Structure 1
Amino acid sequence: MRVQSACLLLLLLCAAVLSQTYDDFKRKHILPSCDDMMKNVNGNNQCKPINTFIMEEAEKVKALCKGKKNENIVHKFDVIDCKMKNKKPCKYKSLALKGKEKKIKCENGLPVHLGQGKYEDFDYDIEN
């Protein structure tokens, strides 16, 4: 009887793991497109020309400013740059960059601004 119970438990555990949905997979493993990410950045009826997203946990970025009252720091991040390719409707192309130096302004121990970078290396041929 114990062997049957153990087998049943193992079968139920396997079924639980296999029953994850596509939405679970997408949420955990697939980054949204620049078009989706920029919806949170753009104002009503506006298209911001370019925006950089840091690929790091918010708490780790926050920790970089700990103890800094009013300073700029420079740190290397993996980032995604989203650059506008169409204004009506707002559409963007993306460029993923590894180890890109970015300047962050810290105020009262918190990051408040990401410095604008140089975008001449943005490749318009990248499809996203």
Structure 2
Amino acid sequence: MQGIRSLLLLLVLLGLWLVQPSSGQSRRFQQFLRQHVDPHSEGGDATYCNQMMHRRRMTETRCKPVNTFIHEDFWNIQSICQTSNIQCKNGQMNCHEGIMKITDCRLTGGSSFPNCRYRTLARTRRVVIACENSEPVHFDG
């Protein structure tokens, strides 16, 4: 049953990836998925961030200094959007929080484009996500 559920989730994510966005919000949602969602990994391996940052195209024109991958299924991530609103770092009130399994990736000192190298830290922690129309669109912290 878990294998079927994982396959269905993969197909949903692939479908969302391939569908042309019809609005700016859809593009933000798709970008959130590409940059932050990796449900099929625990992320603890020391090479994880180097591989994923490259694979998810966050090292093509510069080294993105910090990124977080969430290791939960999409439905758990989206359910955060149903929690009470809290203030985002930019002052807007469309953020929500929850506890998730994540991997934080931080650019190592002395690392520079095009040879981006990252430190990997996998853990469970509180995350803050901005949502629009019940869809996650921005990882706020």
Per the normalisation by structure 1, the TM-score is 0.58
Matched with 1:89 is 115
Change (3 A) 1:49 1:67: closer
Matches of 2:80 and 2:42, distance apart in 1: 26
Aligned-residue Cα RMSD (Å) equals 2.7
Matched with 1:36 is 51
Report the count of equivalent residues.
88
Q: Unpaired segments of 5 or more residues in structure 1? A: 1-27, 117-128
Deviation at 1:30, TM superposition (A): 7.2
Change (3 A) 1:103 1:90: same
Conserved in 2, the CA contact under 8 Å of 1:104 and 1:113? yes
Matched with 2:81 is 65
Deviation at 1:58, TM superposition (A): 1.6
Change (3 A) 1:113 1:29: closer
SS at match of 1:65: helix
Matched with 2:135 is 110
Q: Unpaired segments of 5 or more residues in structure 2? A: 1-39, 86-92
- Of residues 43, 46, 62, the one that matches 2:62 is 46
What is the one-letter code of the residue matched to 2:118? Y
What is the one-letter code of the residue matched to 1:37? M
Greater Cα radius of gyration, structure 1 or 2: 1
Per the normalisation by structure 2, the TM-score is 0.53
Conserved in 2, the CA contact under 8 Å of 1:53 and 1:80? yes
Report the structure, 1 or 2, having the larger strand content.
1
Runs of 4 or more above 3 Å deviation: 28-32, 66-70
Deviation at 1:83, TM superposition (A): 0.7
Deviations 1:15-74 (A, max 9, x none): xxxxxxxxxxxxx77757111111114152210011111110122212332598972111
Matches of 1:29 and 1:51, distance apart in 2: 16
SS at match of 2:94: strand
Matched with 2:10 is none
